[in-house]
């Protein structure tokens, strides 16, 4: 539970409604199959792999999953994370789940979510936009990972 995104209990319907809106804006339907993929992602609360989604979604074909994840990504519903082991991980976009970062375990590869205080984020964004601009680069957003050992591996 513990829906992320800051607010203690963001209602399920809100998120689903927003997803529907995002899909509609991309001329895509929210079918039953797609709904089950969304549920798998919401239930995880961290970036998960294709095989993990398949494991909790009986009857879902791998190709449909990949195709739907691509649709979701294009619509801004999910974000794809290329992890070190070559298998991509997916999670709901920050627009839906709130801005956050990742704790990445170097031993087992697990990834979990974590958030920073708002004031830190703001100062960081200021510095980054500034440094980027000096390289002729216009920043859209940042991505920050903490690399180390998870609770189980240390």
Which stretch in 19-27, 40-48, 59-67, 111-119 sits in contact with its own copies by CB under 8 A?
Answer: 111-119
> Is 70 a binder of its own copies (CB under 8 A)?
no
CA quadruple 109, 45, 121, 133: dihedral, nearest 10: 70
Contact 26, 71 (CB under 8 A): yes
Size, binding site for its own copies by CB under 8 A = 37
């839906």: which residue's tokens? 96
* Min CB(133)–DNA separation in Å: 31
- DSSP-derived 3-state class of residue 105: strand
Contact 84, 126 (CB under 8 A): no
Q: Which residues bind DNA (CB under 7 A)?
A: 27-34, 49-50, 59-71, 86-88
CA quadruple 107, 111, 115, 121: dihedral, nearest 10: 80
Q: Which is nearer to its own copies, 55 or 146 (CB)?
A: 146
Name the nearest CA neighbour of 77 among 152, 11, 15.
15
**49 binding partner (options its own copies, DNA, none; Cβ < 5 to 8 Å by kind):** DNA
**67 binding partner (options its own copies, DNA, none; Cβ < 5 to 8 Å by kind):** DNA
Q: Which is nearer to DNA, 74 or 124 (CB)?
A: 74
Catalog residues that contact its own copies under the rule CB under 8 A.
80, 82-84, 86, 103, 105-106, 112, 114-117, 120, 124, 127-128, 131-132, 135-151, 154
């Amino acid at each position: 539970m513990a829906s992320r995104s800051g607010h203690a209990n963001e209602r399920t319907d809100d998120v689903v409604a927003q997803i529907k809106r995002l899909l509609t804006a991309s001329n895509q339907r929210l079918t039953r199959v797609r709904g089950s993929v969304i549920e798998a992602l919401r239930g995880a609360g961290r970036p998960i792999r294709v095989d993990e989604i398949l494991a909790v979604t009986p009857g879902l074909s791998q190709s449909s999953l990949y195709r739907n994840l691509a649709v979701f990504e294009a619509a801004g519903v999910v974000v794809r994370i290329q992890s070190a082991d070559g298998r991509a991980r997916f999670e709901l976009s920050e627009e839906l789940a709130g801005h956050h970062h990742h704790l990445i375990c170097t031993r087992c590869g697990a990834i979990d979510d974590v958030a920073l205080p708002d004031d830190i984020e703001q100062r960081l964004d200021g510095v980054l936009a500034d440094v980027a601009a000096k390289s002729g680069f216009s920043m859209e957003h940042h991505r920050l990972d903490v690399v180390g050992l998870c609770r189980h591996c240390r």
